[in-house]
Chains A and B, each alone.
Chain A
Amino acid sequence: MIKKWLRPFEEIAGNQRYMITGIWIILVIGYWVISSLGTKHLFPTPVQVAGGLRSLYNEGLVVHIVSSLLLCFKAAFISIIISLLIVYLSPIPLLKPIALFFSKLRFLPLTGITFYLSILVSNARQMQVWVLVIFMSLYFITSLLAVLKDIPEEEIDHARSLKCSRWEVLWEVVIKGRLDYALDVLRQNLAIIWMMLVTVESILVAAGGLGVLIKNSDKFANHGRIVALQIVILLIGLLLDWILQTLRKGLFRYSTF
């Protein structure tokens, strides 16, 4: 059995896969417990983390999570609409440079953008939303452009030969035919956004959110809390990822990638 586990490309049964995952989890947790046994340790002990989690909960962890999620959804919603519009119009030669320009802008540093935004937007919450929107959009546009580019010419030709006008080709092949890809682009880039969210939230403490909690914990150098928070953020991120993945597979039966 062990020999099979070590052979490249070997197909193994489902319960054995769970077993392997289980072994790894036990190893990691075991390492964590053992490494935090001594007096000097890098990681807080599981007990400290549990304590951190409890104190976070008492400070309204759930409210902060909801606040973060709302910010994330709001920004994602605005930005996916803007990006889809820009990208879906990019097959029009006149409008193509717009999409390419925004895609290149993703190399701009965050600080520069926040500076200009703070001149334009006075409300700090608005500012958070727009910083996220701008960043998300740049990544969305880049990924969506790649999806468009990967559409085989035969698919376009197939639609053309069925008497589709060019606008119909755009609608059928690019927009309707690649909706599942758009959802997957959202999923893939959500990780970047979820990570950035924490940073952006610390711009404005009053608005709350997970970023604020991290910042506060940082101040007190409370490792138990920081690790607890990080685990929470990681799990929520994974949950979002899983939801979007399941949504895509559920909505689009033909989406098998």
Chain B
Amino acid sequence: MDITDSAQGPFPLFYILIKMTIAYEQKDTILHVESLSIAYGDKVIISDISFTEKDTIRKDKVQGQTIAFVGRSGRGKSTLFKALTGLEQPTTGVVLIPDFSQSITNGNQPAKKVREGDVGFVNQKYTLFRHKTIYQALQFSLRNSSISASEKQEKIMKYLADWGLEQCKNQYPNELSGGQKQRTAILEQLLNSNYYMVLDEPFSGLDVGNILNVKESFRLVNESHELNTIIFSTHDIELAVELADSVYVVGYPKNNNGTLNRTGTILKHFDLKEMGLAWQGEFTDKHLDVAKEIKSIMLDS
């Protein structure tokens, strides 16, 4: 690290070193994707997608996982997400998550193939139930929850207030703005999902305040359980680098002759934990360098 070369006094140097290297440990696998491909008819949209994410453990702090997918339009991010959430059957390959209904054998949590409903999903179009008001939709999300009716109401009202949706809680989706719909869609999944939540472009169409809301909710989700895992896509590369502890760049790989192979795949993975850039709570020059590198990879894909 170039900090040692800098002409700073001993105290700031010490301080920065502490700040940069946040100790963490990696335990069980929480998501394992192997040779995944999806084709619609003859058209292969994504292929050869393999990656593994592990449960991150930080000393003295509950730390979930935040994983970002970036890539140019039409490269297959949404398609990949449909497979990750079990909404689309992979053409080849598997998506595995731990099966918490089984007990640990040989020190390992048994795995299972992801099925619809295992992973919460907020799609790019913020789809909601057209016949439910915001309040009714959130109530529906809590339908399987074991807490009492009054606790449910309290919980919903708290979220509505925090997310600035109190005023329109009795409005139907067709009476909401894009940002309001989107926040409702995110809330629905927050109340409904267990450890995993996939969000397709959760920051598009939000104003500065709303973006803070969503960022804050990511933090809350991450700090409420170590297994909580947020997977999101975005076109805002700086935001991805700032929020995520793991960033994947999806794009078209180059053929040997330099032309693009028009099938999406993972071009590069940035493990920001390893790079010492995760959980900084601010956007530093290092983050900017990573963002620049990601952009140049994207432009070539």
Determine if A104 is an interface residue (Cβ-Cβ < 8 Å). Answer: no
- How far is it, in angstroms, between the C-alpha of A152 and the C-alpha of B125 when the chains are bound? 11
Assess the B119–A158 pair: CB atoms within 8 A: no
B-contact bits for A146-163, CB 8 A (1 contact / 0 none): 000000101101111111
Is there contact, CB below 8 Å, between B127 and A162? no
Determine if B144 and A163 form an interchain contact, defined as CB atoms under 8 angstroms apart: yes
| CB <8 Å contact, B128 and A158 | yes
Q: Are A256 and B174 in contact, CB atoms less than 8 angstroms apart?
A: yes
- Interface size of A by CB at 8 A reads 21
| A179 part of interface (Cβ distance < 8 Å) | yes
The answer, yes or no, to whether A9 is at the interface (CB within 8 Å) is no
Point out the residues of chain B lying under 8 angstroms from A253, CB to CB. 172
Q: Is B129 an interface residue (CB 8 A)?
A: yes
| A252, CB-defined interface residue at 8 Å | yes
**Given known contacts A154-B123, A256-B174, A161 and B117 CB-to-CB distance under 8 angstroms:** yes
* A172 touches B (CB below 8 Å): yes
Q: Which residue of B lies closest to A160 (CB)?
A: B116
Q: Does B214 contact A (CB under 8 A)?
A: no
B130 at interface, CB cutoff 8 A: yes
Query: Does A176 sit at the interface, judged by CB under 8 A?
Result: yes
B188 in contact with A154 (CB, 8 Å)? no
A70 nearest CB across to chain B (Å): 32
Query: Do B123 and A254 touch (CB < 8 A)?
Result: no
* Nearest Cβ on chain B to A175's Cβ, whole angstroms: 10
Complex: A154 Cα to B125 Cα, angstroms = 8
| Cβ of A30 under 8 Å from chain B | no
A177 within 8 A of B: yes
Q: Is A161 a contact of B85 with CB atoms below 8 Å?
A: yes
Name the distance in Å between B125's Cβ and chain A's nearest Cβ: 6
- Determine the distance from Cα of A252 to Cα of B188 in the docked complex, in whole angstroms: 22
Whole-angstrom distance between the Cβ of B145 and the nearest chain A Cβ: 11
CA distance in complex: A179, B129 (Å): 13
B125, B127, B173, B192: most-surrounded residue (chain A CB, <10 A): B127
Q: Is B28 on the interface with A (CB-CB < 8 A)?
A: no
A173 interface hit (Cβ, 8 Å): yes
Q: With A161-B117, A164-B117 known to touch, is A152 a contact of B129 (CB < 8 Å)?
A: no
For A161, give its contact among B87, B129, B173, B174 (CB under 8 Å): B87
B140 within 8 Å of A by Cβ?
yes
A161 in contact with B131 (CB, 8 Å): no
Inside 8 A of A252's CB, which chain B residues have their CB? 131
A37 to B130, CA, bound (A): 57
Q: A161-B116, A162-B192 are in contact. List 19 more A-B contacts (CB 8 A).
A: A154-B127, A155-B130, A157-B87, A157-B121, A158-B128, A158-B185, A160-B87, A160-B116, A161-B85, A161-B87, A161-B121, A162-B120, A162-B188, A163-B192, A172-B129, A173-B129, A177-B129, A253-B172, A254-B172
